[in-house]
Amino acid sequence: MKGFFRSLPLYLFHIGFVRPVLTWIVGVRYRRRNAIPQGPCLVVSNHNSHLDAAILMGLFRLRRLPTVHPVAAADYFGSTLFKQALAMWLMNGIPIQRRPKHGVDPLQPVIDQLNRGHSLVFFPEGSRGEAGVVARFRPGVGKLVQKLPGLLVVPVYLAGPERIWPRGQTVPVPLNVDAFVGKPRSYNPKDGSRQIAEQVQRDVLSLAPPPPPPPGQRAEPPQRVAVCGFGGKTRDEVMRAITTRLGRHGTALGLGSTLLESNPEGSQETSAPIADIPHRAWTALLAKLIGANKRFSGRKFSEKIEIARISETIGDRRSARFVVTDGSALVDLSSWAAAFSYHGVFDDSEMNRVVEYLAGKQKMPFGKWWNFLRRAPEVWLVNEWSLVRPPIPTVLVLVLPPVTHTMSELRSTGAALKAHQNEAGLERLQQGYRRMGELLRRRHRVTVIEFDPTDEPAETIAERVERELLRLAESNTAADKKA
């Protein structure tokens, strides 16, 4: 009964004020809200506004409210009776000292609540800071992880509250807010607290949507490099080398099994974004249904589509200067089609039409559906279902080791070989890639660089790509000036 009366103001405040305001006035949209675990967890997020705690408490069901506590700075929220009542009584907050006395552990109240099975809303930045800027996460979150091994941490990225009620403003202005919830995970308590805090910050930032473009003149679209051909590991290695190299000249994003971001300050890697995309399964299923997985699995197909989608989005938002992809839906699908489905039948204009179908520049005529459905259903699928419009790369790196080398690598894995994995099949595929490269060079002015990994290291190719892109950038600038 005592607990009920203690929780009553909390329920009334949230049911009567907080949730209606968040839903109807602010228009908060939670993404992947169901990722919040049923048990105790630590919700961490970027912090720019007083609304943040209320928005994050909205992630939990109403019945869990008494067991959810936002962690509040005691010096700020304890300064007046009003703030204290609001933060501790109506919002169920836990005060912690930002500047504790010597020998006092400021995190002890937080640890106590987690040990009781309660959940916490925690802002590792420590303060609201400048609007739209995510400050470095303090090591407090790392210390919590160290003291409570196995603690589930839920990263959340809040986009929008900083525009509604930034620091220093007295009047909030309603605008939409998106809360992106990441997968709950635990961290290794043996790592240093600073290191854990950095990992948590990376996980929070990886959920952020691409930034909106600033008003005024649009930036140039990114220069794209596609690394295609044989050898998954080699391609990945080349992609990384090129991304790191290009990062010296501006933001370069490497898209593969992981997302590698490189800029003049250094490189950092975030968890695989492609693996978390929910509708990826739908694309894989579509590919399976249509029979597009004869030579590459539905999973591989959907991965290519998702990489192309992300690359397209980055291009739309102008959020990077260079985009390097491991594989390219456009080059790979058309080369495979040229090698196995239309070997010897395609002339250049036919092949170029396939490129335009894949790039979404032309709609496939109804009369050709049956032909494509029979021979290269994946091309039909991408075009007719508008799955994606894979961009044409600026530079295409073809990783083409000798066929004998690829075969010996395939045999060394011990896995059963697929029908096309023989000398003749790989030879045809190599020819398909070369023909496609030649076509892109002639018709779309793509710079094609062929690379044999048995001959030269990945660094050499990265250097060549860098030189080529800088040369192109210079000639574009000169052409602009002339115009």
Partner 1 sequence: MTELLGNELRLVWALAGALITVSVVAFVTRRRGGRFRALPGWAGLWWFMAIILVLLSRSNRWISFPLLAFMMFASLRAYFSVAPVRPRDRYAILVSYLAIPLILWPAFIGAVNLFQAVVPVVLFLVVPVFLVYGTTERGLLGSMGRMLLGVIFFVFCIGHLALFAGRSHHGLLELFGVLVLAAELPQRMAGRPHPGSPWFRPLAGIFAAMFLATGLGYLFASLAGMSANDGARAGLLVSVAVTLGALVSEAVATDLEMTSSAAVLGRGSTMTRMVPAVYAAPVFFHYVTHFAP
List residues binding partner 1 (CB under 8 A). 24, 27, 31, 131, 160, 163, 166, 169, 171, 173-176, 178, 209-210, 212-216, 218, 309-310, 312-313, 316-318, 356, 360-363, 385-387
Shortest gap between Cβ of 254 and partner 1 (angstroms)?
19
Nearer to partner 1, 31 or 147 (CB): 31
Nearer to partner 1, 87 or 381 (CB): 381
Shortest gap between Cβ of 213 and partner 1 (angstroms)?
5
Shortest gap between Cβ of 386 and partner 1 (angstroms)?
3
CB 177 within 8 A of CB 51: yes
Nearer to partner 1, 209 or 232 (CB): 209
Nearer to partner 1, 38 or 217 (CB): 217
Nearer to partner 1, 173 or 483 (CB): 173
Shortest gap between Cβ of 333 and partner 1 (angstroms)?
17
For residue 124, give the nearest of 178, 179, 198 by alpha carbon.
198
Shortest gap between Cβ of 422 and partner 1 (angstroms)?
36
Say which amino acid occupies 371: N
Query: How many Å is the Cα radius of gyration of the chain?
Result: 27
CA distances (Å), origin 18, targets 66, 361, 414, 434: 15, 48, 60, 61
Shortest gap between Cβ of 212 and partner 1 (angstroms)?
5
Rounded Cα–Cα distance for residues 322 and 221 (Å): 9
Nearer to partner 1, 104 or 171 (CB): 171
Residue whose token pair is 């309660």? 118
Shortest gap between Cβ of 259 and partner 1 (angstroms)?
15
CB 363 within 8 A of CB 465: no
Nearer to partner 1, 150 or 215 (CB): 215
Q: What are 208's two structure tokens?
A: 């952020």
Q: Which string of DSSP letters, residue by residue, matches 55-90?
A: HHHTTS-GGGGGGEEEEEEHHHHTSSHHHHIIIIII
Nearer to partner 1, 318 or 368 (CB): 318
Q: What are 418's two structure tokens?
A: 């697929």
Shortest gap between Cβ of 27 and partner 1 (angstroms)?
6
For residue 447, give the nearest of 401, 399, 393, 391 by alpha carbon.
393
Nearer to partner 1, 359 or 399 (CB): 359
Shortest gap between Cβ of 419 and partner 1 (angstroms)?
30
Rounded Cα–Cα distance for residues 187 and 21 (Å): 35
Helix pair angle (280-290, 377-384), 10° resolution? 130
Shortest gap between Cβ of 130 and partner 1 (angstroms)?
11
Nearer to partner 1, 103 or 365 (CB): 365
Rounded Cα–Cα distance for residues 170 and 377 (Å): 58
For residue 367, the SS3 value is helix
CA distances (Å), origin 295, targets 8, 27, 301, 329: 62, 46, 10, 14
Sign of CA dihedral 204, 205, 207, 213: positive
Shortest gap between Cβ of 56 and partner 1 (angstroms)?
19
Nearer to partner 1, 27 or 37 (CB): 27
Nearer to partner 1, 52 or 356 (CB): 356
For residue 35, give the nearest of 3, 60, 11, 70 by alpha carbon.
60
Report DSSP state, residue 26. I
Shortest gap between Cβ of 49 and partner 1 (angstroms)?
13
Nearer to partner 1, 52 or 178 (CB): 178
Shortest gap between Cβ of 313 and partner 1 (angstroms)?
5
For residue 243, give the nearest of 331, 311, 321 by alpha carbon.
321
Residue whose token pair is 């635990």? 186
Rounded Cα–Cα distance for residues 38 and 12 (Å): 23
Q: Which string of DSSP letters, residue by residue, matches 219-282?
A: PPPPEEEEEEES-HHHHHHHHHHHHHHHGGGS-EEEESSSEEEEETTEEEEE--TGGG-TTHHH
Rounded Cα–Cα distance for residues 272 and 280 (Å): 13
